[in-house]
Structure 1
């Protein structure tokens, strides 16, 4: 193992990992197994936690616990997070709220008990076999280096430079529209049920004045074919296409298959250029990266 790791990152010299870091539930299980096999410390970042998601979905009252589990495999995810919690030395959270209100829902962690155990450890007192990982807060952030406008000395965009030509992603979106001059309503979200994309399409389809006024663009990640997507994402996308057909929205809704990360700003700029709007119709957001991106892009 040390030889293989050394060949990858150690310039050929044998190396042994100091820590195994798992992100999300599935990788947390893998990290727990590897850290146990190699006898090295484990760090875990849960990101969007299953129990908090389950609580949120139950409060909506749209699905029963059984239906939620069937859709999201939520109990398997929670079990994986419990295992990751038990195996970790450190758990990285984005906010204090994540620790006190989300991780506190889990069997493997309890805020007050964790504080008491840490105090006993500092005093050198016996914890009687009880152990809980250390919670560390690292606030999330977004790298905006790729999202900077190029302006001339007067503070205006240089419309005469070669860089000001329409980005390729614009034509990829505009080819869907019968009348591309309309303002653009933009939604950027992965095709997950909690993102509520189908409700947006339904609302657009049922409002004739809105359809006459604007076009709708749905940026739903990247895909090769619906048949190759996960069951959950495929179901959402199929529902979107069904609604487009039901309301006869052909020529009014764009749903491109591909876009590059570097083109995200250009997509937001297209909405701004057409005097359009960005919408977020998700049931709930843990962080809301798209909301920050749209602020940066000055729509």
Structure 2
């Protein structure tokens, strides 16, 4: 087993800490804060995942990027190091969730397991729970890191995503976990763009650097549009239709379903706003109005 898969398996196999399993969770169950056994059985893994990403951030922040930032001409090297560490974690998270999600989507078992609307809404298996757990762990970490180093729209994105995947841990709509995580397909191009701009772009830009930027930016806009807008709006329509078909099932959660649809709608609108911004920057660049 390669180190990448070993890390995933290791995090999934860690037992819950005693204070969580014997004190915090029983207290939350007793006071009706949580009732789902699936959530109780897996929340510790999401917490471990959040800590794992924080360790990656600290390693990047204190070891990997300080010497690289020192080679640049930027005056605010501390800010560059912090932002570089955030993007470094994004690279790792994207690789993990895309591997888990694509493996799931390409699995015949996955499509057979969730063939009916009720199964897509209420069904769960080991693979979909692993995806939900890793996604929740990242977005828990993302709330903290966005509040410290990013802007308000990214905080909204992190909070909404955390709420959606918390509901998904019940389990609920786990079929759609890997479906909506296809949004992450645009992240590699976004991170490449950012690192090239911060570490390779300057007064002595080479022709190769400019071509890398151009090709990557075209790929970013294309994949962003297809994965986050075309795929995203299509899948939220599918999810809404599945909710409608199972609305009379006693397991149906009207409030949770409304929160999920509203949260996904907010994310889809944010994606349209961000794509519009990309287009405006691209037009300015073509016209020579922006570097």
If the length of structure 2 is used for normalisation, what is the TM-score? Answer: 0.23
Higher strand proportion (structure 1 or 2): 1
If the length of structure 1 is used for normalisation, what is the TM-score? Answer: 0.22
Q: Which has the higher contact order (CA 8 A, sep 6+)?
A: 2
Larger Cα-atom Rg: 1
